[in-house]
Structure 1
């Protein structure tokens, strides 16, 4: 059983990550900083997710002297194409059309920084979508907020209930934080 001895900072504005941390009974505060999320070309999806999570952790080097700082980055990979957060409704519709009736991978990179220690890992989940109609995609984009989500969807939203046929891997990873792996990593700290 993990016993929290060090204050935790979650460096994420994601309400889903905050919800997942709360469900793990972790006492944490949220702290945000703007971080450039660009990455070098030719990295594999898992490497991109970890690279960005580590970049975010580096921005909190001062805070990590007294606290454990947890950062994360989630990306969707479809046929070797990285689907980040959509720029607008048209872009979201385009992404969801690509994912409709296919399968894709969701990668989340996580970094835990404390003092001079930086521990990083990733998880990957295979997600299988049923075919979606244009009307279903339009409904989702209009009635939900796909703009802050990699791949333009949240598995915990309406689309997850009606379109996700199955997943292979962690459900919470698709939400943006692989809680089982995070718990294991925290227990080892």
Structure 2
């Protein structure tokens, strides 16, 4: 396997845990928080997460280059995840009231979670040096939870920093995976990542 220096372009503790649990050796280098500003996709949530994943990767590559830390072994992994229900994109809630609004919209419904993932070895030559950007989709069903259950979940603070204001990994019991992978819902589609890294290693 070619030597690589794997860099996770994210500050998400959930993505970090997924990578660690899968046995990857990696560094963490988050993109600037401003990277998501000004990106407005007309292609819906699927196009949005793909564009954001690529933007995060580009931002981290630029930072590494500026710091003189970008080398031929760097492989950048960037990801963005959103939930979608009834045509509305649900990112991370701004506060508890926003989280309540999201969960009230989601309860009793089928909804989707989209992740765009970018894997990029910018120091490679030719096509191998171009970013590979892919999409993963999962479908979930949320039970018609009561107001009391909703209040309890909000009070726990588990909604913070999560697309759609929920975390499948929280094992609340009222979220059911209908299609796709659990890791995609958590925030990083690990099967897809493994395939993308294998393609880079083969080049």
> Which TM-score band (shorter chain)?
over 0.9
The equivalent position to 1:73 in structure 2, one of 80, 92, 97, is 80
Deviates more, 1:64-73 or 1:53-62: 64-73
Aligned pairs (5 A) from 1:98-137: 98-115=105-122, 116-137=129-150
Of 92, 111, 135, the match for 2:99: 92
| Greater alpha carbon shift after TM alignment, 142-151 vs 50-59 | 142-151
Instruction: Tell me by how many angstroms 1:4 deviates.
Output: 6.3
Superposed counterparts of 1:13-162, under 5 Å: 13-34=11-32, 35-38=34-37, 39-61=39-61, 62=65, 65-66=71-72, 67-115=74-122, 116-159=129-172, 162=173
TM-score by length of 1: 0.92
Give how far 1:41 is off.
4.0
Query: How far off its partner does 1:42 sit?
Result: 1.5
Higher Cα Rg, which structure: 2
Measure, in 1, the Cα distance between the counterparts of 2:148 and 2:87. Answer: 27
Q: Which runs of 4+ in 1 moved over 3 A?
A: 63-66
Equivalent-residue separation in structure 1 for 2:113 and 2:31 (angstroms): 24
- Relative distance call for 1:163 and 1:187 in structure 2 (3 A) is same
The alignment yields a C-alpha RMSD, in angstroms, of 1.5
TM-score (norm 2): 0.86
For 2:102 and 2:184, the matched residues in 1 are separated by 19
Q: Which moved more, 1:127-136 or 1:61-70?
A: 61-70
Q: Secondary structure at the match of 1:185?
A: helix
Q: Is the 8 A contact 1:129 1:166 kept in 2?
A: no
